[in-house]
Amino acid sequence: MKPTAVILNQDIHVQSLYGFCFRNGIKIPRDLSVICMESTEHVEWCDPLPTRMRFPVQVASGYFKKWVRGGCQPMGVKYLELEWIEGESVGKNPRR
């Protein structure tokens, strides 16, 4: 069975994947869905625009400031949800 989705950790790999797909006749999102776990301006010119995730910098810096103001005392583990940025690179589930 052929893969139907690729999740990339870094946005620097999006251009390589899109180039590979173009050269091999793989259509995004018809044949392959793409999600990138990073979001910077490097992918904003891609067509189709990749669906991606963004780290909540404002929330993280708020925790950091609170930690510093509190005398750098242990705060425990903080889990931050990534922000989902809808793009055009995720297709319908072909197996449904």
| Cβ atoms < 10 Å from Cβ of 75 | 11
- Does 93 map to a domain? no
- Does 60 map to a domain? yes
Return the CA Rg of the chain.
Answer: 18
Amino acid identity, position 56: P
| Cβ atoms < 10 Å from Cβ of 37 | 14
Longest dimension (CA), the chain: 57
Q: Are 43 and 52 in contact (CB under 8 A)?
A: yes
Q: CA 56, CA 31: separation in Å to the nearest integer?
A: 31
- Does 21 map to a domain? yes
- Does 26 map to a domain? yes
- Does 94 map to a domain? no
- Does 91 map to a domain? no
Task: Report the SS3 class of residue 21.
Answer: helix
Domain that holds residue 15: 5-85
- What is the chain's pLDDT, residue by residue, as a tens digit (96 residues)? 677 899 999 989 999 999 999 999 999 999 999 999 988 888 888 899 999 988 777 888 888 888 898 888 888 888 888 888 899 999 876 555
To the question of pTM greater than 0.75 for the whole model, the response is no
- Provide the pLDDT for residue 96: 53
- Does 70 map to a domain? yes
- Provide the pLDDT for residue 94: 57
